């Protein structure tokens, strides 16, 4: 009997994965990872050169990402089928051998593995290894603490409505916003309404070689979906 | 010329520190860490058995923790003197050699190092290595994802007023509460008012050998200051 081990790989720099993650991926006989059509995926990229000889790779390619609106029932159906099918496949392998699922960041913080996890509850033994989150890699890249003392930290997705983004941005000390991409203009308007725009940083690919740290109000072009916006808390400091 | 490198050590299990953290601490000639009177401190405990022979240890003992109320100006003065003095000492060492500062969790997320960091800005070269946060260790210990899809996550300290705790607990999808200890009764009342008490988990010493995971409404006695309360988000799931 084997098990399914989902290991967080950290924010991007391979040197930031945990000792446990490194041992798991360098000795695994089966690894699985999510990726989009035409992209290898960050998870697989992070472990490049570290997998054992003879490993079997299971590339779990999303059937759809942004081609269909998330509100279309077809989107939900396609993804449910995809997760059902991979839960079955990985569950079968785990009857005999361990499978290591590679996840960038921290698996239980907005990770995709949870959709397999919920389907594997009574099917296989599952273990989760936490990782340094992408947002931590990004706030470390700004060179300033994200929270001090009794600061309240809000983490939200730029997919929310402009009104909700503005209200929440105004009503917190420190702020992290993910899933930006095409939501950038909406997010910028919301941050301006909340009086936080001039204090917002935008980090692309934190801890990776292409890392880019900018003030939000100096950005003119587009930003990737996986960029992260940050407002640092200003709490108590003796 | 050396520098001051503050490295996150993760939530407690030494196997969860990063490859980079492990290399730094096992080769350092100078390490420094915070601790309370009569306690060795979690940071130093995590690296037990991993320091190089001949390392010089700088134990930075807090002059006060909970003996004086945080609102007393004397509290602030004592801590400011403490941080000023250690910033000077570590800054001087770093003129000649590297100093590795050990920090449990993630240094820029409510870490104590930031009080040295702000004082070292124009004095020494400082580098931060992120770590897996204590809250990540705790939500991983519950065996359930903390956030899904577009969930909003709020991180707050139990030191806030009961009204503010209740309002914020009611107005978020997922919730993390730190600094509990003697604030437990207040936090419990606030969670009840927010209708979240029955969904709250309490994790003590996540990922450490003494790890304890309980439902909040089943707790009868006291809990340590560094226990963490969690409410899992219930967002979109295909």
CA dist., res. A47 & res. A61, Å (int) = 17
Share the mean pLDDT of chain B. Answer: 95
Query: Which pLDDT value is given to residue B133?
Result: 98
Share of chain B above pLDDT 90, in %: 87
Distance, CA of A230 to CA of A81 (rounded, Å)? 35
| Number of domains chain A contains | 2
Q: What is the pLDDT of residues A178-228, one digit of tens each?
A: 999 999 999 999 999 999 999 999 999 999 999 999 999 999 889 988 799
Closest residue, chain B, to A158 (C-alpha):
B150
The dihedral through the CA atoms of A69, A70, A73, A78 has a sign that is: positive
Mind giving me the DSSP string for chain A?
---EEEEE-BSS-GGGSBHHHHHHHHH-SEEEEEE-TT---HHHHHTTTTSPTTPEEEEEE-S-SSSS-TTSHHHHHHHHHHHHHHHHHHHHHTTTS-EEEEESB-TTBT-THHHHHTTSTTTS-EEEE----HHHHHHHHTTS-SB-TT--EEEEETTS-HHHHHHHHHT-SEEEEE--GGGHHHHHHHHHHTT-GGGEEEEESTTSTT-EEEEGGG--S---TT-EEEE-------
Give B71's pLDDT tier (boundaries 50, 70, 90): confident
Q: Are residues B125 and B142 in the same domain?
A: no
- Residue A225: the pLDDT is 81
Which residue, of B102, B132, B162, is where some domain finishes?
A: B132
pLDDT at B65: 75
- The answer on B121 and B203 residing in a single domain is no
ipTM of the complex: 0.95
Q: What is the pLDDT of residues B143-186, one digit of tens each?
A: 999 999 999 999 999 999 999 999 999 999 999 999 999 999 99
Please give the backbone phi and psi of residue A41, each rounded to the nearest 5 degrees, phi first: 95, 145
Q: Judge if A36 and A99 occupy the same domain.
A: yes
> What's the domain range around B27?
4-132
> Is A213 a member of any domain?
yes
Q: What is the pLDDT of residue B218?
A: 93
Predicted structure pTM score: 0.96
Same domain for A119 and A173? no
Q: Which of A16, A79, A110 lies at the smallest CB-CB distance from B20? A: A16
Instruction: Give B111's pLDDT tier (boundaries 50, 70, 90).
Output: very high
Contact A15, B20 (CB under 8 A): yes
**Mutation site for A-interface testing, chosen from B3, B11, B16 by largest number of A Cβ within 10 Å:** B16
Q: Which of residues 67-86 of A touch B (CB under 8 A)?
A: 70, 75-76, 79-80, 83
Same-domain check for residues A102 and A141: no
Q: Examine the pLDDT at B236 and tell me if it is beyond 80.
A: no
Among B110, B148, B165, the residue to mutate for chain A (most A Cβ within 10 A): B110
Is A186 a domain residue? yes
Q: Between A10, A118, A238, which is nearest B83 by CB?
A: A238
Best mutation site among A106, A201, A238 for testing chain B: the one with the most B CBs within 10 Å? A238
A-chain residues near B133 (CB < 8 A)? 133, 136
**Does any CB of chain A come closer than 8 Å to the CB of residue B11?**
yes
Whether B125 is in a domain gets the answer yes
Residue A236 lies inside a defined structural domain of this protein: no
| CB-CB contact of A29 with A52 (8 Å) | yes
Using only C-alpha atoms, chain B has a radius of gyration, in whole angstroms, of 19
In Å, what is the CA distance from A92 to each residue of A27, A82, A103?
Answer: 20, 16, 20
> Which residue, B212, B210, B207, B213, is CA-closest to B9?
B207
Is B237 among the domain residues? no
Residue A152 lies in a domain: yes
Last residue of a domain, one of B109, B132, B155: B132
Q: Give Dmax over CA atoms of chain B in angstroms.
A: 56
CA dihedral sign, ordered A221, A147, A42, B146:
negative
Same domain, A20 and A104: yes
Which residues 159-178 in chain A show a CB within 8 A of chain B?
Answer: 159-160, 168, 172
Task: Give the CATH number, domain containing residue B149.
Answer: 3.30.950.10
pLDDT of B209: 92
Same domain for A146 and A128? no
B238 occurs within a structural domain: no
Closest-CA residue of chain A to B74: A238
Quick one: B118 and B15 in the same domain?
yes
Q: What is the pLDDT along chain A (238 residues), one digit of tens a residue?
A: 899 999 999 999 999 999 999 999 999 999 999 999 999 999 999 999 999 999 999 999 999 877 788 788 888 899 999 999 999 999 999 999 999 999 999 999 999 899 999 999 989 999 999 999 999 999 999 999 999 999 999 999 999 999 999 999 999 999 999 999 999 999 999 999 999 999 999 999 999 999 999 999 999 889 988 799 999 999 876 6
Distance from CA of B161 to the nearest CA of A (A): 11
pLDDT at B214 over 90: yes
Amino acid B68: pLDDT: 81
Distance from CA of B108 to the nearest CA of A (A): 4
Q: Scanning the structure block, which residue is given the tokens 């037990």?
A: B48
CATH number at residue A127: 3.40.1010.10
Do residue A108 and residue A25 come from a single domain? Answer: yes
Domain boundary at B100, B132, B164, which? B132
| B103 token code pair | 């920090």
Looking at the domain assignment, is residue A124 inside a domain? Answer: yes
Rounded Cα–Cα distance for residues B22 and B88 (Å) = 26
One domain for residues B22 and B123 = yes
């Amino acid at each position: 009997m084997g098990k399914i081990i989902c290991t967080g790989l950290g924010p991007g720099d391979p040197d930031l994965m945990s000792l446990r993650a490194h041992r798991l991926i360098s000795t695994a006989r089966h690894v699985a990872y999510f990726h989009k059509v035409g992209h290898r995926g960050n998870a697989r990229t992070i472990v490049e050169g570290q997998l054992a000889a003879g490993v079997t790779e299971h590339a779990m390619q999303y059937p759809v990402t942004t081609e269909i609106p998330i509100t279309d029932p077809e989107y939900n159906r396609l993804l449910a089928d995809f997760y059902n099918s991979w839960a079955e496949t990985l569950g079968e392998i785990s009857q005999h051998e361990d499978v290591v699922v590679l996840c960038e960041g921290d698996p239980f913080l907005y990770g995709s593995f949870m959709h397999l996890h919920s389907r594997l509850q009574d099917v296989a033994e599952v273990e989760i290894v936490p990782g340094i989150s992408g947002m931590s890699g990004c706030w470390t890249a700004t060179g300033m603490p994200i929270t001090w003392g009794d600061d309240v930290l809000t983490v939200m997705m730029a997919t929310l409505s402009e009104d909700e983004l503005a209200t929440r941005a105004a009503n917190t000390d420190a702020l992290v916003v993910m899933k930006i991409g095409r939501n950038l203009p909406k997010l910028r308007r919301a941050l301006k309404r909340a009086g936080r725009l001039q204090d917002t940083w935008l980090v692309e690919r934190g801890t990776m070689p292409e890392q880019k740290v900018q003030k939000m109000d100096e950005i003119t072009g587009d930003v990737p979906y996986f960029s992260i916006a940050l407002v640092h808390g200003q709490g108590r400091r003796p």
